[in-house]
Amino acid sequence: MAYQSINPNDGNVLKSFEHLSNAQLDASLASAEACFQRWKHTRYAERAVILNKAAALMRANVDDFARLATLEMGKRIDEARGEVRFSGDILAYYAEHAEAFLAPKTLHPRVGEAHMESSPLGVLFCVEPWNFPYYQLARVAGPQLMAGNVLVVKHAGCVPQCAIAFEKLLLDAGAPAGAYTNLLISHQQSDRVIDDPRVKGVALTGSVAAGRVIAARAGQNLKKSSMELGGSDAFIVLDDADLDKTIPWAVWGRMYNGGQTCCAAKRFIVLESIADKFLARFKTALEALKPGDPMDETTTHGPLSTEAVLVQLLAQVDAAVKGGATLLMGGQRIDRPGSFMQTTILTDIAPGNPAFRDEFFGPVVSFYRVKTEDEAIALANDSDFGLGGSVWTKDEARGKRVASRVDTGMMFINNLDWSDAELPFGGIKASGYGRELGNLGIQEFVNKKLVRTVHIDAPV
């Protein structure tokens, strides 16, 4: 079976699904293209009715959607509910603002008149990951459906029921057949989709390896793409940080969603004068987390999404230790059913250690001591990634200066409030290109057409 729901809390197979046949895939693409020819002519208000209805359905059925995410990928139930609510908020946000974002913009040439018009490109192929099985879909569906595009979507193989539920949500909200289509397809079939002339753009959220493959294929076809890839975000603690505020954010920033977040705090870079105090308190707070069934409200440490993810993470920690890193705590799987890993802290990570460059997608802390603010910034920038990062200080002006010097797509000062519907999200370097959410997110896959009127004679 190609797509499988396996409960990571106990390893039980919940449901399996076959790949689409190539004939079924071609029929889906034909349906999407036919829908686009009608959808692009609908008014914003008509599209907004559907997106608002979808948002309302998500809010009215939070527990049902959340339970499915918890069963399929082990997200703790309170976090799953939060994701469902936020996904509804994104749909409603674009329903409200899309028309203003894409309104014609008057330009002021030296002679005559000119304006820019925005129009949809067509069928978009979206490849999405398992770690936020609804949010990742909402943040492409909201803006792009409101822009007049239609979507065909390959979701991750371990969350097929969430993928099917989101497609049904939009159909139940009144979306026409073909506006949003879930594709249970293989990686080879993904190539067919990207190569298909009816597909006009490609959006991926996923690993660097997947990004290289998908972006290359899109490039061969001269198709616009956006890539939101991994991260190894720095959590910079300056010597004047308020630890009472910083420590809870450190725990949340590393452990939210089981540490399986692209923009999670992963590299903790702490000035020497405060490092011992920070590390002792951080370790104590992490040790207090309680492993358990993610469906249980009292659980504070859930499973990883799959056994394969756990095995890879354990291998990365072993390689780090063999490379000279010190294992301060954790490093093993938890002795209980399911794909659970101990919360782990690695220190003494030298530049030659694979852990210095790797992204740890789970409950693994990389801890660094530095002597100065400049050294902290240099270490933060010594990364192949550039998604997000944060700086912690009582001096807000100092925090802004540091934030401006870190080479990344997003920086947060004394918070890790990563995602708001109205704020753009994305990175640089190996973290990808393009932006999602906010005004920028809806601009990624629209044609910006210049229209100029000027009464002048042709040159002679």
Kindly give, in sequence order, each residue whose CB lies less than 8 Å from that of residue 377, ignoring residues fewer than 6 positions away.
236, 402, 405, 406
Provide the 10 A C-beta neighbour count for residue 273.
12
Q: Is 75 helix (H, G, I), strand (E, B) or coil?
A: coil
- Is 262 tagged catalytic? yes
Q: Which residues pair with 127 in a beta bridge?
A: 154, 204
Catalytic one among 262, 263, 373, 444?
Answer: 262
Tell me whether residue 386 is exposed, middle or buried, using C-beta atoms within 10 angstroms of its C-beta: 0 to 12, 13 to 18, 19 or more.
Answer: buried
- The DSSP code for 341 is B
Identify the residue whose tokens are 């080479």.
407
Structure token digits, residue 143: 């803006």
- Is 263 tagged catalytic? no
Kindly give, in sequence order, each residue whose CB lies less than 8 Å from that of residue 61, ignoring residues fewer than 6 positions away.
none
246 to each of 28, 231, 253, 257, how far by Cα in Å?
Answer: 49, 21, 10, 19
Alpha-carbon distance 253 to 185, whole Å?
33
460 to each of 109, 111, 112, 443, 453, how far by Cα in Å?
Answer: 22, 18, 20, 39, 20
b/e sequence 314-323, b meaning 16+ C-beta within 10 Å: bebbeebeee
Strand-strand pairing, 389-392 and 412-413: parallel
Alpha-carbon distance 91 to 141, whole Å?
8
Listing from the earlier edge strand, what are the strands of the sheet with 412-413?
A: 326-329, 344-347, 364-370, 265-271, 233-237, 389-392, 412-413
| The residue type at 222 | L
Let me know the angle formed at the C-alpha of 29 by 28 and 32, rounded to the nearest 5 degrees: 90
For every residue of 151-215, DSSP letters joined together read EEEE--TT-HHHHHHHHHHHHHTTPPTTSEEE----HHHHHHHHH-TTEEEEEEES-HHHHHHHH
Q: Are the CB atoms for 35 and 78 separated by under 8 Å?
A: no
CB-side neighbour CA atoms (13 Å) of 82: 9
Catalytic one among 128, 167, 228, 373?
Answer: 228
Just list the catalytic residues.
228, 262
